[in-house]
């Protein structure tokens, strides 16, 4: 995950894409993501499993995952092996891969900002990011960016055609 010890993480686009795919697979919603020294904290709401006689079956519960850098690297390798499969970079018809695609967009934005100490949360498909770093000639500091659900959906739709163009612009500070 790090090019050398002490360096900022590289390729947030792939990191967040992989974490987003994990969130999709776990059926999470309303995500919170925080960068830690040796990995990440991912929290979301998910449907609680249980036996058929359980009163809690199908209830929504908060689920928290501490993902190490090594675990995320394994997720990234798994996603890379799936590249080139039919539709791997396209939205699923019912958008069951929403977090994979939307968090990839967030990652591209973070890469463009050359930021670290990433914190993001999502609610109802919209994202708010808090990043630390320098962008352009600005001094180091925190910055906020917000991406609405409509903006995210438009970027997901246009992403395959714009794959090598610049990262998205947020709608503004929350």
Q: One digit per residue, pLDDT tens: the chain, 174 residues?
A: 443 344 455 689 999 999 999 999 999 999 999 999 889 999 999 987 655 565 666 688 999 999 999 999 899 888 888 766 545 556 665 778 999 999 999 999 998 888 888 999 999 999 999 998 765 556 678 999 999 999 999 999 887 666 545 556 666 655
Tally of domains in the chain: 1
Residue 169 lies in a domain: no
Q: Residue 155: inside a domain, yes or no?
A: yes
| Residue 3 domain-assigned (yes or no) | no
* Number of continuous H segments (helices) and E segments (strands) in the chain: 4, 6
Check residue 172 and give its pLDDT: 63
Which domain, by its residues, includes 79?
12-162
In a domain, 109, yes or no: yes
Q: For residues 40 and 137, what is the distance between their CA atoms, to the nearest angstrom?
A: 29
Closest by CA position to 73, among listed 129, 15, 26, 11: 15
Q: Is residue 86 part of a domain?
A: yes
What pLDDT is recorded for position 159?
73
Q: How far apart are CA 160 and CA 66, in angstroms?
A: 31
Q: Does residue 136 form part of some domain?
A: yes
pLDDT of residue 133: 77
6 domain-assigned = no
Going 167 to 169 to 173 to 174, the CA torsion angle's sign is: negative
Q: Which pLDDT value is given to residue 71?
A: 92
The answer to whether position 17 is within a domain reads yes
């Amino acid at each position: 995950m790090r090019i050398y010890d002490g360096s900022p993480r590289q390729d947030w686009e792939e990191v967040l894409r992989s974490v987003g795919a994990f969130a999709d697979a776990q059926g999470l919603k309303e995500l919170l993501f925080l960068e830690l020294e040796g990995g990440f904290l991912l929290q979301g709401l998910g449907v609680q499993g249980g036996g058929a006689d359980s009163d809690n079956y199908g209830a929504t519960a908060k689920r928290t995952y501490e993902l190490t850098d090594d675990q995320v690297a394994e997720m990234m390798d798994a996603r890379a092996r799936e590249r080139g499969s039919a539709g791997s970079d396209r939205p699923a018809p019912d958008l069951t891969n929403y977090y994979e695609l939307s968090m990839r967009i967030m990652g591209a934005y973070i890469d463009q900002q050359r930021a670290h100490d990433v914190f993001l949360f999502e609610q109802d498909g919209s994202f708010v990011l808090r990043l630390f770093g320098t962008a352009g000639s600005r001094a180091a500091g925190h910055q906020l960016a917000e991406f609405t659900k409509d903006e995210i959906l438009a970027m997901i739709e246009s992403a395959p055609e714009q794959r090598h163009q610049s990262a998205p612009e947020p709608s503004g500070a929350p």
